[in-house]
Structure 1
Amino acid sequence: MISPEASHPALPALPVLVLPPAVPAIALVCDSPHSGTDYPADFDYTVDAAELRKLEDTHVHWLWDAVPRVGGTLVHATFPRSYIDPNRHEHDIDVAMLADTWPGGAAPTARTLALGNGLVSSLTPSRHSIYARRLQAREVAHRIEHYWRPYRRALAQALEAAAPQGPRWHLNLHSMPSNVYERLGRVAPGPLADVVLGDLHGQSCSAAFTELVAGAFRQLGYSVAINEPYAGQDLLREFGEPARGHHSLQIEFNRAIYLNEKTRELLPRANAVREDVADVLCDIAAHIHSVTPAHS
Structure 2
Amino acid sequence: MSITYTLIKGRIPLLISMPHNGEALPENIASKMTEQGKKVADTDWHKDKLYAFAQALGAYIIMPKYNRYVIDLNRDPAGVDLYPGANSTELCPTTSFDLAPLYLDGQAPDKDEIAHRVTTYWQPYHQALKTTLAEMEAEFGKAVLLEAHSILSTVPRFFTGQLPDFNFGTADGKSCAPELITALQKLDYSPYSMITNGRFKGGFITRQYGQPQKNIHAVQLELSQRTYMSEPSPEYNQALADQVIPKLEQLVQALIHFSQQ
Correspondence 1:170-209 to 2 at 5 A: 170-180=145-155, 182-184=156-158, 186-188=159-161, 192-209=163-180
Say whether residues 1:141 and 2:127 are aligned partners: no
**Conserved? CA contact 1:32–1:174, under 8 Å:** yes
Identity %: 22
Matched with 2:196 is 226
**What RMSD over aligned residues (CA atoms) do the two structures have, in Å?**
2.4
Question: 1: CA distance between counterparts of 2:188 and 2:217?
Answer: 18
Instruction: Judge which range, 270-279 or 260-269, deviates more.
Output: 270-279
Does the C-alpha gap of structure 1 residues 53 and 230 become closer, same or farther in structure 2, counting only changes over 3 Å? same
What residue number does 2:184 align with?
Answer: 213
Decide whether the 8 Å contact of 1:112 with 1:118 is kept in 2: no
Q: Secondary structure at the match of 1:252?
A: strand
AA paired with 1:121?
P
Deviation at residue 68 of structure 1 after TM alignment: 2.2
Structure (1 or 2) with the larger CA radius of gyration: 1
More off after superposition, 205-214 vs 249-258: 205-214
| Distance of 2:9 and 2:44 partners within structure 1 | 22
Superposition pairs of residues 1-296 of structure 1, within 5 angstroms: 14-21=3-10, 25-43=11-29, 44-49=31-36, 52-92=39-79, 108-109=80-81, 115=87, 117-131=89-103, 132-133=105-106, 134-164=108-138, 166-180=141-155, 182-184=156-158, 186-188=159-161, 192-218=163-189, 221-267=191-237, 268-289=239-260, 291=261
**How far has the Cα of 1:179 moved from its partner?**
0.7
Count of residues paired in the alignment: 256
Distance 2:243 2:9 in 1: 24
Shift of 1:14: 2.0
Q: 1:259, CA displacement in angstroms?
A: 1.1
Cα distance in structure 1, aligned partners of 2:94 and 2:175: 28
Secondary structure of 1:53's counterpart equals: coil
Partner secondary structure for residue 148 of structure 2:
strand
1:63-104 Cα deviation digits (max 9, x unpaired): 112222222201111111111011111112xxxxxxxxxxxx
Contact in 2 for aligned 1:47/1:128 (Cα 8 Å): no
Q: TM-score, normalised by structure 2?
A: 0.88
Change (3 A) 1:37 1:234: same
Offset at residue 211 of structure 1 (A)? 2.3
Structure 1 pair 71–222 and aligned structure 2 pair: CA distance change class (3 A) = same
**Once the two structures are superposed, what CA deviation does each residue of 1:161-217 show, in whole Å capped at 9, x if it has no partner?**
21216321111110021113x121x444xx532100000101111222112123335
CA contact (8 A) 1:115 1:123 kept: no
One-letter amino acid of the structure 2 residue matched with residue 171 of structure 1: L
- Give the Cα–Cα distance (whole angstroms) in 2 for the partners of residues 269 and 50 of structure 1: 28
Distance in 1 (alpha carbons) for counterparts of 2:85 and 2:41: 19
Supply the distance in 2 between the matched residues of 1:13 and 1:159 (Cα, whole angstroms). 17
State the secondary structure of the residue aligned to 1:173.
strand
Measure, in 2, the Cα distance between the counterparts of 1:152 and 1:90. Answer: 11
Supply the distance in 1 between the matched residues of 2:170 and 2:39 (Cα, whole angstroms): 28
